[in-house]
Chains A and B, each alone.
Chain A
Amino acid sequence: MLASIGRQVGLFSERKRAEDEVRVQEHLLRETGMIAHVGGWDLDVLTGHGRLTDEVYRIHELDQDTDMSGEMGLSFYPGAARAAVEAALAKAINEGIPYDLELPFVSAKGTRRWVRTIGHPAFKGDRVVRLRGSLQDITERKNAEEAIRQLNAQLEQRVAERTTELQEANKELEAFSYSVSHDLRAPLRAVDGFSEALADDFGAQLPEDARRYLKLIRDGAQRMGELIDDLLTFARLSRQSLSTRPVDPTAMVRDVLALMQDELRNRLVDFRIDEMPIAQADIALFRQVWINLVSNALKYTRRRESAAIHVGSLLDASGKVTYFVRDNGTGFDMAYAHKLFGVFQRLHRAEEFEGTGVGLAIVQRVIHRHGGHVWAEAQPNVGATFYFQLGSQPPPPHE
């Protein structure tokens, strides 16, 4: 008698433990469902009887235990979404094909939502007897996606507008430089030409001062012509598209030096060119940089009995290459270093060293367009060194 009671108690507490375990599991599932906005549902295909978890009711904004018929279930999907669900259900039930759809949804209280509805058929033999699935509220994610889509569209719009603006500006600049190159030169030619004609035809009859004035007039016209040319070059470089490829700086500097034979004749110049690593640059623009830097070095060492110019490169720990042009020329005061690269800025008197002050501005413009930077160090009467780096991320070719 006691034994059977004992067994009953044992069975009872085992059953209690099992029930507790079930309760804990249920609770866990419910919590999880709430956190993830996922509800589960179960449909007996034969009886049409369905079961829904609390979260499903919450998504529908219906009271728990509201009786949900198939027809009613479909009514929460607006327009084409409803047809999609119907079709998916039919396919699942009749052909046993599971579905996973993201659809617009309207709750019982009229709240517009987005849901993900998943259905998996369960078979008995080859017949579908149950349909099980989940329903998830994905409204937040959908809204975020929409926001990104809108931002992207706005961004595209803004880029298109800016591009148009830039193209307009470029076209204006082109028209401007075109008219400068033609229209400004003609009157200059007249000034120069007729001063020359005056000096030629009547010079003999003119006093010394008059002839000197005429020469100054011609010098002025000449200089203005040079300024126009340099400005035009500068403008052209700004709008020219960059087309980069591997370039050998060492060979390029040798070529550039060959161009300057006139300057080198009758001078004692010790010109040293180190082997430099291949660079990624626009050939024509890169050449202009070397031309300007080398001709500057030659110009500012003119007063030296024996000029020494060294072109080479340095490699730092991170593999970055710095090119340099070093000379033992007249140098400059570092206090004015910040003015070096300004357009028309000069650090020396015109009567000491000729120049328009655009050469270094051009160098800087080209280097910047390659994503790099240029700087210089010098000491008056000792010499100067110009350094530059090209961008670590070279601009893509045919920019």
Chain B
Amino acid sequence: MSVRPSTSSSVPNLLPPMSDSQPVEILLVEDNPQDLELTLRALKKANFANHIEVARDGAEAIDFVFCQGIHAKRAIEDVPRVVLLDLKLPKIDGLEVLQRIKSDPRTRRIPVVVLTSSCEQRDIVESYNLGVNSYIVKPVNFERFASAVHDLGLYWLLLNQGPSSHT
């Protein structure tokens, strides 16, 4: 598994950066360093994903998806196969990232799975209003968390049939 963490990261660099030609399977948007490390650990345990892109806040996530800023060289058709999105993010928050992805015809087919601590109804309702594909509340217990991540990967990367990204 290769991981390309974004610029400022306290997460250990697991592998040298990959070339841009490798398709991104998972865009993981997470600001909390401990949660990030645990999620990556869980993904590794589940043997999923060859290429995970990490965004540490909403702005980085938008830059990646819409090929802006440091990701200007990316092609917008190279959509990730799934976005794992935390809600409480600095700069641009999770719901706004969700809204932007789901309202742009070029990106709205990307499955977005909200992975968050919040079990508040208003967050859940608002996420579904904006077109989220799935809403998962991060359990406190790591085993259950790892199991949830495993199930997520299994479902979105193997089981679920998405549209082909190039028409």
Contact = CB atoms under 8 A, between A and B. Distances in A.
Is B a genuine binding partner of A? Answer: yes
Interface of A: 178, 181-183, 185-190, 192-197, 218, 221-222, 224-225
Interface in B134-151: 138-143, 145
B110 to A, nearest CB: 25
A185 B86 CA distance: 14
Interface in B89-145: 116-120, 138-143, 145
B41 A192 contact: no
A183 B138 CA distance: 12
A189 B35 contact: yes
Given A181-B120, A185-B117, A222 B41 contact: no
B141 A190 contact: no
Nearest to B32: A186
A189 B140 contact: yes
B13 interface: no
15 contacts: A178-B118, A181-B117, A181-B119, A181-B120, A188-B140, A189-B35, A189-B38, A189-B117, A193-B41, A197-B38, A197-B41, A197-B142, A218-B141, A218-B142, A221-B141
B118 A192 contact: no
Contacts of B140: 185, 188-189, 192, 221-222, 224-225
B105 to A, nearest CB: 32
Contacts of A178: 118, 120
Contacts of A197: 38, 41, 142
Contact of A190 (B35, B118, B119, B120): B35
B104 to A, nearest CB: 28
B165 interface: no
- Identify which of A193, A222, A225 gathers the most chain B CB atoms within 10 Å of its CB: A193
B32 A222 contact: no
Contact of B142 (A185, A187, A193, A224): A193
Contacts of A188: 140
A181 B118 contact: yes
Contacts of A183: 117
A187 B142 CA distance: 12
A175 to B, nearest CB: 11
A60 B139 CA distance: 85
A241 to B, nearest CB: 13
Contacts of B120: 178, 181-182
A42 B139 CA distance: 92
A227 to B, nearest CB: 11
Contacts of B117: 181-183, 185-186, 189
A185 B138 contact: yes
B88 interface: yes
Contacts of A182: 88, 116-118, 120
B138 to A, nearest CB: 6
Nearest to A232: B119
A83 to B, nearest CB: 61
Contacts of A181: 117-120
B141 A225 contact: yes
Contacts of B118: 178, 181-182
A189 B88 contact: no
